[in-house]
Structure 1
Amino acid sequence: MVKSLRKWWPLFLLPTALSFAFGFVIPFAEGLYLSFCRFISISNPKFVGVSNYVAALSDPQFSHAFWLTALFTVVITVLINVIALAIALCFTRKGLRGSNSFRTVFFMPNLIGGIVLGYIWQILINGVLTNVGQQLLALNTAAGFWGLVILMLWQQIGYMMIIYIAGLQSIPSDYLEAAKVDGATAWQTLWKVKIPNLMPTITICLFLTITNGFKLFDQNLALTGGAPDHSTELLALNIYNTFYARAGAKWMGIGQAKAVIFCILVICISMIQLKATQSKEVQQ
C-alpha cells in the first residue's frame, strides 16, 4: 500500500495542481504582466513600465480607500471577534435551553449573499430606521461607514461564533476543573485558561475577519456604491471603479496595478497577523 502511494502520488496530485495552475498561477502571472501595460484588450497590451504603479500610488482616491479600508477592518475585526466570543461563551454554558436553535438563528445571515444583504440594509437604514427615504447613505459619509460596519457584524458574527464554540468545546475539561478547584473566578478562568487554549481558534477568526474586511466588495457596492463622492469607497470597489468606470486604456492598466498592490497588501497583512497570533498559541 505504502509503495503504491509513493509510486502513484503524482497522478493523484495532478488534478489539483492543474486546477491551481490554471485557476490561480497563470491568471495571476498574466495580471502581473498587464499591470505594467496599457491596454483595452488583453490580446494587445502595450508595455509602459512602472508608470501604472506611480499613477496608482499617487491617486488620492486610492489612498483614501486604503485608509478607510484599514479603519473599517480594524473596527469590524475587534467588534466581530469580541461579540462572537461573548455569544459563544453564553451558548456553551451548561443548562442553557434552546442553544442549538439560537446558534442556527445567529448563523443564518452568513448564508445570504453580500449583494442581497447590501440592498436589504440599504432599505432598512434609509427607509425604516431613519425614515428619510433614499438619502442618508447617499449623503452622509459617517452613516455609510457605520452602515457597512453594522452589515458586516450582522453577517459575520454568527459564523465566527460557531468557530469559537468549536474551540471552547475542544478545551480539555481537566483544565477547567483544575481552575475551579484552585478557586479561580470566571474572569480568571477566561483569561488564564480559556483564551490561551483558544489561540488557534482566535488565529483563524482574526485571519478570516481581516481578509474579509480588506476584500469587501459586493456589500460596499450594494449598500453605498462609494457615495457620497467616493467617500465610502473601500479598496476593492475603488479598483473596480478604476478598471471599469473610468474610460480608456490608461485607467485599465492603473486598475490592474492597484489590484496587484491590493493582493500583495492583503497577503503581507495576513502573514503578519498569522505570525503574531501563532506565536501566542500554547501546546495542549
Structure 2
Amino acid sequence: MTKALTKYFPIFAGPTLIAFLIAFVVPFFMGLYLSFTDFTTLTDAEWVGFQNYQDALGERSGFISALGFTALVSAISIITVNLGAFTLAYMLTRKLRGTNVFRAVFFMPNLIGGIVLGYTWQVMLNSILQRWGHTIVNDWKLGLAGLVLIVNWQLMGYMMIIYIAGLQNVPPELIEAAQIDGAGRWQTLRNVTLPMIMPSITICLFLTLANTFKMFDQNLALTNGAPLKQTQMAALNIVEAMYEKVGHEGVAQAQAVIFFLIVSAIALIQLRATRSKEVDA
C-alpha cells in the first residue's frame, strides 16, 4: 500500500504543488526581492536595500497607525464573533424546533461579498445616524463600530457551524457523568464541554484573526479610511501606497512583507497557545 501511494503521489499531488508554486511561492519570493528595490515594473527594479522598510515604518506612510487600528478591530471582533458564535451554536444544539432553518439563516451572510456588504451596511447605518446629524465617516469611533458590526454579521454564522460540529462531537457519556457527579450547567460547560471543543475554538480563533487582519473590501466600501485615514486598515493602506502614490511601489511591497510577518507571528502564537489546551476525547 505504501509503495502504491509513493508511486502515484506525483500524479495526484503534482498539479496541486505546481499550482501552489506558481500562485504563491514564486510570487512571494519575487515580492520579497522587490521590497528591497525601487521599481515600477518587474524589469526596472533598482536595489535600494532597507530604505523601503524605513519609509514603510515612517510617520508619513500612515502604516503604523493603520496597523494599530487593524489590531483594535481584530481584537474586538475576535472576542465578539466567537462569543456570539458559540452562544448561537450552544442554543442550536439544544432540542429546539426549527434549528436547521436558523442555522441556514445565520450562515447566509457569509455568502455575501465584502464590497456589497460594506455598501449595504453603509446605507443602512447612515440612514440611522443621519437622524442625529452624523454619518459613518464623521467619527472614527462610528467607523470602528461599523466595521466590527460588519465582521460579526458576516463571520458569526460561519464560526457557529464549526462550533456546532464541535459540540455534537462531545461524548454524551462525559456530560452524563458530570451530571451524575452533581455538576451544574455552568460547571459542565466550563470543565467538560469547553475542553472537549478546543479544536473548534482553535480553528475559529485562527479564521477570525486571519479574516479581520486582512480585511480590505469591507473597509473600502464602508469608510474608505475616513475621517482623515483614522479608520484605514493595513490592507487598504498597502493598496493605496501601491496604486495611488507614485513611486511608492517598493514601499508598499515592504509594507506587505511586514504585514505578512506580523500576521503569521500572531497566528502561530495563537495556534500554539490554543492547541496546548486541547485534550483527547
TM (normalized to structure 2)? 0.97
Alpha carbons 1:88, 1:164 under 8 Å: kept: yes
- For 2:240 and 2:6, the matched residues in 1 are separated by 50
User: SS at 2:264's partner residue?
Assistant: helix
Report the RMSD for the aligned CA atoms in angstroms: 1.4
State the 1:138 CA deviation: 2.1
State the 1:83 CA deviation: 0.8
State the 1:182 CA deviation: 1.1
Partner of 1:270: 267
State the 1:68 CA deviation: 0.8
User: SS at 1:145's partner residue?
Assistant: helix
* AA at the equivalent of 2:251: I
State the 1:135 CA deviation: 5.4
Alpha carbons 1:164, 1:201 under 8 Å: kept: yes
Alpha carbons 2:241, 2:249 under 8 Å: kept: yes
Q: Is 1:254 matched up with 2:255?
A: no
Superposed counterparts of 1:154-193, under 5 Å: 154-193=153-192
Alpha carbons 1:137, 1:143 under 8 Å: kept: yes
- For 1:132 and 1:48, the matched residues in 2 are separated by 52
**What are the ranges of 5 or more consecutive residues in structure 2 without an aligned counterpart?**
none
Q: Percent identity?
A: 50
* AA at the equivalent of 2:155: Q
Superposed counterparts of 1:3-152, under 5 Å: 3-59=3-59, 61-94=62-95, 96-127=96-127, 129-132=128-131, 136-152=135-151
User: SS at 1:193's partner residue?
Assistant: helix
- For 1:46 and 1:135, the matched residues in 2 are separated by 47
Superposed counterparts of 1:197-276, under 5 Å: 197-247=196-246, 249=247, 251-276=248-273
Alpha carbons 1:203, 1:278 under 8 Å: kept: yes
- For 2:76 and 2:116, the matched residues in 1 are separated by 23
- Pairs aligned (count): 280
* AA at the equivalent of 2:150: L
- For 2:256 and 2:245, the matched residues in 1 are separated by 15
* AA at the equivalent of 1:222: A
Q: 1:192 to 1:241 in 2, by over 3 A?
A: same
User: SS at 2:136's partner residue?
Assistant: helix
**What are the ranges of 5 or more consecutive residues in structure 1 without an aligned counterpart?**
none
Residues 243-268 of structure 1: CA deviation (Å, up to 9, x unaligned): 11112x2x111001000101111111
Alpha carbons 2:242, 2:253 under 8 Å: kept: yes
State the 1:165 CA deviation: 0.5
* AA at the equivalent of 2:22: F
Residues 209-253 of structure 1: CA deviation (Å, up to 9, x unaligned): 011111010000000000011000000001011111112x2x111
State the 1:134 CA deviation: 9.8
Q: 1:59 to 1:208 in 2, by over 3 A?
A: same
Alpha carbons 2:129, 2:136 under 8 Å: kept: no
Residues 63-89 of structure 1: CA deviation (Å, up to 9, x unaligned): 111111111111000000011101111
State the 1:4 CA deviation: 2.7
User: SS at 2:41's partner residue?
Assistant: coil
- For 1:83 and 1:5, the matched residues in 2 are separated by 43
- For 1:43 and 1:78, the matched residues in 2 are separated by 45
Residues 78-122 of structure 1: CA deviation (Å, up to 9, x unaligned): 00001110111111112x111110111111100000000000000
Alpha carbons 1:72, 1:213 under 8 Å: kept: yes
